[in-house]
Amino acid sequence: MDVLNLAHGSFYMLGAYAAFAVVSKTGNFWLALLLGPLSVGLIGGLMELLLFRRLYQRGHLAQVLLSFGFTLVFVDLVRSGFGPRTYGIAPPPGLGGAFHVAGASFTKYDVFILGVSVLVALVLLVAWRLLKVGAVLRAGVSDKEMVGLLGIDLGLVFTLTFAFGAALAGLGGVVAAPFVAIYPAMDDNVLILALVVVVLGGLGSIEGALAGSLLIGLAFSFGTFYLQEFSIAIVFALMAAVLVLRPRGLFGIRQ
């Protein structure tokens, strides 16, 4: 889509707060899993419809400024709504506790996250490669004007894609809520890691984002375990190395 949106960290944060709000009101995590992505997706769709679509012509800088402005607004909104303190929620019933395999211990919730991740990845890959909407988006990545000339309302596609992206980030926030601290600046770390993942994987490629997330996730985890002081540095060194050897990222299209 060639749109730069730095507010995805905020969408993730909003998802986590939505999870906290729903769980503390109703005690039902599964309801949060439904309502969180829906409401965050709605917010994303409205942002595109009312503001972002006016900026596509003006290039990336305007998009960066607008979306960065939104990250500040969302942090302040969350702070004024929930206060500056840190919250946490428990995993849903049935997914608490841990089990052991071959001497290593896993929480049940780890497995749940793994399952959700694989499911989301599969849905994205199938939609991207096999469905019409994926074809429209892949076409739009290289030539938006031509897509319009074929009678396709790209404006609508953009709004829905933007909303879907926001909903996915919101889903990430809901799923993360039981094992991370929920606080007003929680968006920063995720945003930076997500940016690294996307750049490393290659802009405009779902496969690239998948490969990038696996690579960065493993590098970050192993880095934290063996060289804790350098775990962030390792992530950035990895990105720098890929960019030097292959400037368009692992799966990015040639510019």
Partner 1 sequence: MRGLTAGYGGLAVVRDVDLRVAAGEAVALLGRNGAGKTTTLLTIAGALPIRSGSIAVDGRPAAGLPSYRIARLGLSLIPQGRRIFPALSVEENLTLGARRGAVVGTVQELFPVLAERARVFGSNLSGGEQQMLAIGRALMTQPRLLLMDEPSEGLAPQVVRQIGELVGRLRRERDLSILIAEQNLALALAVADRVYVLERGEVVHEGTAAAFGEDRALQRRYLGV
Interacting residues with partner 1 (CB under 8 A): 132, 135-136, 138-139, 141-143, 145-155, 253
Q: How far is the CB of 132 from partner 1 (least distance, A)?
A: 7
Report the nearest approach of partner 1 to the CB of residue 145 (Å): 5
- Report residue 195 as tokens: 């940016």
Instruction: For the CB of residue 239, give the shortest distance to partner 1 in the complex, in Å.
Output: 24
Q: Of 37 and 202, which CB lies nearer to partner 1 in the complex structure?
A: 202
Is 153 or 188 the residue whose CB approaches partner 1 more closely? 153
In the complex with partner 1, the residue whose CB is nearer, 3 or 141, is 141
For the bound state, the minimum distance from the C-beta of residue 124 to partner 1, rounded and expressed in Å, comes to 16
Q: Which is nearer to partner 1, 104 or 150 (CB)?
A: 150
Q: Nearer to partner 1 by C-beta: 97 or 151?
A: 151
Residues whose CB falls within 8 Å of the CB of residue 15, separated by 6 or more in sequence, listed in order: 36, 37, 40, 169, 170, 171, 172, 173, 174, 176, 177
Alpha-carbon gap, residue 247 to 147, rounded angstroms: 27
Q: Write down the least CB distance from residue 196 to partner 1, Å.
A: 24
Burial of 227 (0-12, 13-18, 19+ CB in 10 A): exposed
Smallest distance, partner 1 to C-beta of residue 129, A? 10
Question: Which one, 49 or 141, has the nearer CB to partner 1?
Answer: 141
